[in-house]
Structure 1
């Protein structure tokens, strides 16, 4: 290498390092957009808005929340993947949008182009939820009615078709265990599923977590939950295994913050540090508790390992179900 080439390479490296430092020092210098995968008013939306409000105070710029529901989080994730990786667009959504759903749905993005920054909670694994004024006080009464009236309808947050979310999978497990037949109606978020139930447009919902405050208020009633452990908020509600139904529980689907692939490392770290500071705060944890969301923090490294494990679990699950994987 000649002296001129060596000097040119040194200048290039210096320029690259300097550019990175400038980006870190000046970022952010304009508003940030936070895309949320679910409808306004849902628990994910509430947590995202709390995260945005806390991060604004640290970063010193506005963070605008945009709700982009649809496709079980794939619509919003596709929108994120199309954005420039500069730190000015982030996503709060479901890990399923980059693990399980692209395997069986046509999506507009490559999951590898979406990078998880951190996780702060996970979704309720699902439950059978009915109106409090319904005639079914117990899961046994519900099952007896379902056997006599096949085709009861239920609303669920997420995409239709094969049971891909833990809520749909739980209903499928109950149907198989007890010989039942239900009609699934997908909705854009748990709050819309709750509205359909309260309006008597469906017989029940596969609750995704947003129903829990309504259960606490006596508006809705949980009959059985699809979680591995008892719900400490409602310890009297039985699990599937308590009613004789074995189930290979799927991984918990995380609520995570993601960015487009290619974000400058210093910008990534600044955002990760900022969001971590917010979600680790007592105020944020209190908000999660009020909305019946468990606190489950994972940094980018731990989240990457979880996403890999979640992806592998669903590959095996779909193979068992005889489902062809699209991506």
Structure 2
């Protein structure tokens, strides 16, 4: 038995003995043997597994700034991009379970296990959910001069002209790609997938009319939602988006399998004491729901959430099998 396991066992036995004797046990963090009441007592690190300037980076820095102000400790944001977020995720999965290393993750966390044959961590076992921060969605769009005025019309055109139409996505293995393949399977249409390295160049080509259709995340399309630069035929998720209330969901149009939203979430390493997770979660929820950050997220086209650890765990348990099924049915692999 290594020293860490012996320390953990002694702490657990000590707490049990104290309870049996009628004394109130002191909750401690096994890794540091420091009382949870002392948390936070040193700088906190936010790991963003994507480049600076994206949605996860913005959210991490916005929350980090307010968390630092509220708790009086530095919050350092580190961008660790690479391998669809796997590089940064792995750093947090292998960090000390003490609440001082926080992951700002996205939906890709629960998609990559089916896209890669082997990951250096287990998404379910190696992370402790803290809070779902915000929801996103993908818009299915066509150029403004496209003949299709609705999703049924687009499907009809694609069926009558096999091989003629394509759809752009913001990267292989992304939600945009998976939604495109799902549409192909559900509608029985032949659409060529055109992958881009990110949403920005995808949006540019949609605006330029260089694609027959595309799946674009709502935050990337946000500056153009009120314009006539493209036509939105449908949106993913279970409810319409307040910024485009006239756009129906895929479910409303008779297409199942598009119910899951994209999301941003906060995680720590599995094994982090529950009182620390709960304290961190409560403060992050307060920040996300504050008028300042709530307004900034809404202005980005996102839907602020600020959920509990159990609520985020429930989202993962519900959505992960759905993404896995889509990936396997479409035979998508990134290995």
Normalising by structure 1, report the TM-score: 0.75
* Pair 1:90 & 2:99 matched: no
How far did 1:142 drift?
6.0
Contact 1:191 1:211 in 2 (8 A): yes
Is residue 235 of structure 2 the alignment partner of residue 234 of structure 1? no
2:135 counterpart of 1:122: yes
**1:290 deviation in Å?**
0.8
1:291 and 1:204 map into 2 onto residues whose CA distance is: 23
Matched with 2:276 is 267
**Structure 2 segments unaligned to the other structure (5+ residues):** 1-9, 19-24
Corresponding position of 1:182: 192
Partner of 1:308: 317
Relative contact order, higher structure (CA 8 A, sep 6+): 1
In 2, distance between residues paired with 1:222 and 1:103? 29
8 Å CA contact retained: 2:165, 2:190: no
**Residue number in structure 2 paired with 1:75:** 87
Q: Name the residue aligned to 1:6.
A: none
Helix, strand or coil for the counterpart of 1:129? strand
Counterpart of 1:206? 215
1:80–1:271 CA distance, 2 compared to 1 (3 A): same
User: By how many angstroms is 1:75 displaced?
Assistant: 3.3
Change (3 A) 1:11 1:263: closer
- Among 246, 258, 276, the alignment partner of 1:249 is 258
Shifted more, 253-262 versus 310-319: the winner is 310-319
Q: Distance in 2 between matches of 1:230 and 1:118?
A: 23
C-alpha distance 314-117 of structure 1, shift in aligned 2 (>3 A) = same
Which stretch of structure 1 is more off in the superposition, 234-243 or 207-216? 234-243
Distance 1:11 1:229, change over 3 A: closer
Q: Deviations over 1:35-56 (max 9, x none)?
A: 2244433333322222111111
Change in CA separation of 1:53 and 1:158 when aligned onto 2, cut-off 3 Å: farther
* Aligned residues between the structures: 308
Contact 2:251 2:258 (8 Å CA) reproduced: no
2:163 corresponds to 1:150: yes
State which of 126, 142, 156 in structure 2 corresponds to 1:113. Answer: 126
Mapped partners of 2:235, 2:263: distance in 1: 18
Contact kept in structure 2, 1:127 and 1:170, CA below 8 Å: no
Larger displacement relative to structure 2 (283-292 or 150-159): 150-159
Matched, 1:170 2:179: yes
- CA 1:78–1:288 in 2, change beyond 3 Å: closer, same or farther? same
For residues 75 and 236 of structure 1, the distance between their equivalents in structure 2, rounded to whole angstroms, comes to 39
Contact 2:92 2:103 in 1 (8 A): yes
* Match 1:283 to one of 292, 295, 298: 292
Rounded Cα–Cα distance in structure 2 between residues aligned with 1:101 and 1:152: 28
Aligned-residue Cα RMSD (Å) equals 3.8
Which region of structure 1 is more displaced relative to structure 2, 140-149 or 27-36?
A: 140-149
Question: Quick check: 2:257–2:322 contact (8 Å CA) kept in 1?
Answer: no
Distance apart, 1:314 and its partner CA: 4.2
Alpha-carbon offset, residue 96 of structure 1: 4.3
Task: State the distance in 2 between where 1:324 and 1:296 align.
Answer: 30
In the alignment, structure 1 segments of 5+ residues that lack a partner are 1-8
Q: Would you say 1:100 and 2:101 are equivalent positions?
A: no
